[in-house]
Amino acid sequence: MVNCKYSKYNRSVEIIINEIYKVEPLNPLKKKYRDEKVKLIKYEPFGEGTFVLRLDSKWHVSRNSYTEIDVCDLVLIR
């Protein structure tokens, strides 16, 4: 579980490898990847980053190309 804070916004993100998440940035001005569905592939808590497969992008899925996204911008879809 990762606890995130941006200005007045708070969120806790449960980290589960191979689960599907929706990108909802904590920063309301951040638009990149917003509302995309992604699959969490790898999470390194100390500076390495969070790598996801962008499921809404056929190009990324067909090539297994991963994107690095801030874990605080992810919301688990259940």
pLDDT tens over the chain, length 78 residues = 999 999 999 999 999 999 999 999 999 999 999 999 999 999 988 877 899 999 999 999 999 999 999 999 999 997
Task: Tell me the whole-structure pTM to 2 decimals.
Answer: 0.91
What is the per-residue pLDDT for 73? 96
Where exactly are the structural domains of the chain? 2-76
Residue with the two structure tokens 């919301």: 75
Beta strands in 26-73 (DSSP E): 37-44, 49-54, 66-68
CA dihedral 55, 47, 10, 30 (to 10 degrees): -50
- Token reading at 6: 């941006």
Which architecture does CATH list for 2-76? Roll (2.30)
